[in-house]
Structure 1
């Protein structure tokens, strides 16, 4: 079996251990059910050929297993709208072909002292990355300059609905292919700097619900 689609049903309970025996899977989609519990700690080892992983809109909890980085062929990962907690694993950076990562609407953490932000530095290895959302989590503090390590072909970047503060790093201006930038619903301060003029392909810009001051550049 290569394709396992059971999304948009009324499935409940935990993912059966027997699913881990289907090591030939390319696509695993269990989105929009009522599944719960934690993900198998060996999920990346159990599905070494996986290309698409869709587990959004369930009630999974616990940490995202670091072993997910061992599924080196993953292109799309959607773990949104669950109850995942803890830090975002740096092991995502081992998935060189990753181009879409959706972690929004969870309880993932990063602290003002810099702990938990290492994933930005790691994702620099994902040279195909085009879209990432970490919106509506529990990310705190200043966005580290390591965000500038993300690939310049990024078209979608969403960090809305967190507890982010300080100024927006000017290095965001290097992502000249951005089509959508979401920084709304945080506590950013200072002025909106000239870096925004570098985003010549930008179509959607969300900055509402912050503490920006000064003139619009």
Structure 2
């Protein structure tokens, strides 16, 4: 079937000045071979849209089409070019301006909205707008911070078209509705703060596609459902702050793959399964808080948490003894285990925590004295 591919040494065939699927299939091959070639191209194009790796696509074309590796590479480049044309045109600050104007227009009238309506104007550069920071050379919006401005409204899908966005902070406002799925395209994001709003729905599984994200905050929100395992795909994540929602279930075991996670704060939710011990197997962890949930089980901790400085498991349903291994968390400054069902004596090892500043063990069934 190799003769059906219309690829020359000078590069891919163009159709009307642009690469085209049918133009890559030779007119000389038989009807059924031509149809098969088009099906192969469509399959590769579909997988390209889904975001597989360069290597996977080349191998796919090579294996399916029975052609040389150079021809496979040429097919890949044509399809990749088509994708870039579709998603990146126009690549200018004008597109950033249009998206932010759509954002502005969705906000309900308020004093702060009036400020934005005046400041976010087509008469000035988007890089001069309030709360907007642009890349010094490319002049594309990289940072949007409109936190604590008493804004009300919904998030437009156009916000997901800001491919250069590295930081997005809309916290401490009154935005409502669900998160638009188009935000999945913000693949360069490193900082994302949606906290203290009235946004609703479940934690979207597409969060896992934001693999460069380092900071995620959706605290004081209206999230329901469970934590999606796909969050474990955020391999760069350092801080996850999910407090004050209505999240159920437990922390997925996949979280043990987040080897850069330092801060896991999931307070005042409805977590009810046994304490997720896998969350305590990350040597990178510095602070953990599951305050005010309904987690149960026996506490096993500090075997690998030499960097831990803050631990709050208060107001849960934990049972058994406070483990003597807690003394292995030698950097602890804050330890709160109050409001559980711990029994037995307080382990003497707690006295060896020389960095400890705050200790809360009340509202348990502990006996004896602490020395």
Report if the CA contact (8 A) 2:348-2:370 is conserved: no
Deviation at 1:195, TM superposition (A): 1.4
Q: Which of 238, 247, 254 in structure 2 is aligned with 1:91?
A: 254
Radius of gyration: which is bigger? 2
**Cα shift readout 1:66-96 (whole Å, capped 9, x = no counterpart):** 0111110011110011111112112221111
The answer for the alignment partner of 2:293 in structure 1 is 137
Alignment pair present for 1:33 and 2:190: no
Distance 1:142 1:204, change over 3 A: same
What is the CA–CA distance in structure 2 between the aligned matches of 1:133 and 1:207, rounded to whole Å?
A: 15
What is the CA–CA distance in structure 2 between the aligned matches of 1:39 and 1:216, rounded to whole Å?
A: 43
**Cα shift readout 1:44-72 (whole Å, capped 9, x = no counterpart):** 12x11111101000010111010111110
The answer for the alignment partner of 1:120 in structure 2 is 277
Alignment pair present for 1:177 and 2:331: yes
> Which stretches in structure 2 are left out of the alignment for 5+ residues?
1-164
Deviation at 1:42, TM superposition (A): 2.7
Query: Which secondary structure does the structure 1 equivalent of 2:174 belong to?
Result: coil
Distance 1:210 1:122, change over 3 A: closer
Q: Which of 186, 201, 204 in structure 1 is aligned with 2:358?
A: 204
More helix by share: 2
Deviation at 1:122, TM superposition (A): 5.1
**Cα shift readout 1:126-176 (whole Å, capped 9, x = no counterpart):** 322110101111111322x3x233421100010001011211111111111
Aligned residue pairs total: 207
Distance 1:122 1:216, change over 3 A: closer
Report if the CA contact (8 A) 1:42-1:65 is conserved: no
Q: Which runs of 4+ in 1 moved over 3 A?
A: none
The answer for the alignment partner of 2:180 in structure 1 is 16
Query: Which secondary structure does the structure 2 equivalent of 1:98 belong to?
Result: coil
With the length of structure 1 as denominator, give the TM-score of the two structures.
Answer: 0.91
What is the CA–CA distance in structure 2 between the aligned matches of 1:39 and 1:214, rounded to whole Å?
A: 44
What is the CA–CA distance in structure 1 between the aligned matches of 2:265 and 2:169, rounded to whole Å?
A: 19
More strand by share: 1
> Which stretches in structure 1 are left out of the alignment for 5+ residues?
112-116
Pick 1 or 2: higher relative contact order, CA cutoff 8 A, min separation 6. Answer: 1
What is the CA–CA distance in structure 2 between the aligned matches of 1:140 and 1:167, rounded to whole Å?
A: 13
What is the CA–CA distance in structure 2 between the aligned matches of 1:123 and 1:206, rounded to whole Å?
A: 20
Report if the CA contact (8 A) 2:251-2:279 is conserved: no
Report if the CA contact (8 A) 2:303-2:328 is conserved: no
The answer for the alignment partner of 2:167 in structure 1 is 3
Distance 1:96 1:141, change over 3 A: closer
Query: Which secondary structure does the structure 1 equivalent of 2:318 belong to?
Result: strand
Calculate the aligned-residue CA RMSD, in Å: 1.3
Q: Which structure 2 residues correspond to residues 42-121 of structure 1 after superposition, within 5 A?
A: 42-45=206-209, 47-111=210-274, 117=275, 119-121=276-278
